[in-house]
Amino acid sequence: MLKNVRTGSSTLAGFILAEQRHFPTATGDLSLILEQIAFAAKIISWEVNKAGIANIVGATHSSNVHGETQQKLDVFANTKMITALDHLGLLCGMASEEAEGIIPIPDKYPKGKYIIVFDPLDGSSNIDVNVNIGTIFAMFKKPSGTVGEAVPQDFLQCGRSLVAAGYIVYGSSTMLVYTTGRGVNGFTLDPSVGEFILSHPDMTIPETGHIYSVNEANFSKWDSITQAYVEELKNNTETPYIARYIGSLVADFHRNLLKGGVFLYPADTKNPKGKLRLMYEAIPLAYICEQAGGRAIDGKRDILDIIPDAIHQRTPLIIGSKRDVERYLQITEDNRAEKKKGSKKT
């Protein structure tokens, strides 16, 4: 249980400081990185909010009122994340869904022990239509025994080694949700004072939900297990499920975290390895989900147990309420047992 915090009156900075006291050897480096992410999020949030207006201006002029060429919002978000973090002397490397290789810390800045990975603007197909989008991030420590600039191998750590993860959802309000492995807490941006304020302490996901979120247009491209699972959810008369799918992972996950339910982006014939990115999307949200009492798998194993082979690796993802995710595993297991029985008969 959280002590010494007051919902509605604790700022993110104050909360991070209070949390730091639980780690007697903490240097404050992680806290500073989190605060800088919150700073980048405020700037991105502001830009996201005026994107509609900027597009109207952009329709008649190729540059904005200041004579600057307008940047795509995802490029803007990527740049803001990098420039908020690269000079702190606390990171040794960054990787972003928007950059092909790893993003080095410029030579002029000192290097630190942390590695950060992020998806600067998730749900980019929703940008132009005024629908919720988000930023996702996760942090590791550089593997011990290595010094200086991070190399690609340093990024390929399994999710169990994370030190922090979080997301920002730019919705009807802007919310930042994060964990450092001591539960999950949510903060709402109060635009009048420009501060993230603790609004959702100790977030936990209901053990079973009544929402399923999946792009059902892909039904015919799924394997029979995924099809059977979704059919079962739809036909569950004991707990009637409703379908909710925004097409922005952060927003779909956030809703299910609050209300309970399951989000799936399974492998399909078009994306045989899944569509979502393991390092920028699945691992950070899986860490948050487990911290909130939920579960996240790729269909067979826990997402947090996967050791990535490449920074842009894709993965199937089934994430949300524990019992809902475990039902997928049960159907897989039953299917395997059935097949085994069948092969013995022949």
- Residue 249 CB, shortest distance to ligand AHM, in Å, is 3
Residues found near ligand AHM in the complex (CB under 6 A):
97, 119, 122-125, 215, 247-249, 265, 275
Distance in Å, CB of 303 to ligand AHM, minimum = 15
For residue 195, what are its two tokens?
A: 């501060």
Q: Which does 204 bind (CB under 5 to 8 A by kind): ligand AHM, Mg ion, none?
A: none
Residue 98 contacts Mg ion per CB under 5 A: no
Nearest to 152 by CA among 33, 313, 296: 313
Query: Taking CB under 5 A as the rule, does residue 119 contact Mg ion?
Result: yes
Angle between helix axes 29-49 and 51-60 (nearest 10 degrees) is 50
- Cβ proximity to ligand AHM: between 6 and 234 the closer is 234
Contact stretch for Mg ion (CB under 5 A) within 122-130, 168-176, 267-275, 336-344: 122-130
Strand 211-213 relative to strand 295-297, pairing:
unpaired
Q: Nearest distance from residue 288's CB to ligand AHM, in Å?
A: 15
- Closest distance of CB 91 from ligand AHM, Å: 22
Residue from 19, 74, 122, 298 in contact with Mg ion (CB under 5 A): 122
Residue 145 DSSP class: T
- 154 sits near Mg ion (criterion: CB under 5 A): no
11: partner contacted, choices Mg ion, ligand AHM, none (Cβ within 5-8 A by kind): none
Q: Are strands 185-190 and 195-200 parallel, antiparallel or unpaired?
A: antiparallel
Q: What is the dihedral of CA 107, 112, 117, 119, to 10 degrees?
A: -60
SS (H, E, C) 33-97: HHHHHHHHHHHHHHHHHCHHHHHHHHHHCCECCCCCECCCHHHHHHHHHHHHHCCCCCEEEEEEC
User: In whole angstroms, how close is the CB of 123 to Mg ion at the nearest point?
Assistant: 7
- The answer to whether residues 160 and 305 touch, using CB atoms and an 8 Å cutoff, is yes
Name the binder of 215 from ligand AHM, Mg ion, none, CB < 5-8 A by kind: ligand AHM
- Indicate which of ligand AHM, Mg ion, none lies near residue 278 (CB less than 5 to 8 Å, by partner kind): none
Structure letter (DSSP) for residue 143: P
> Of the two residues 112 and 120, which places its CB atom closer to ligand AHM in the complex?
120
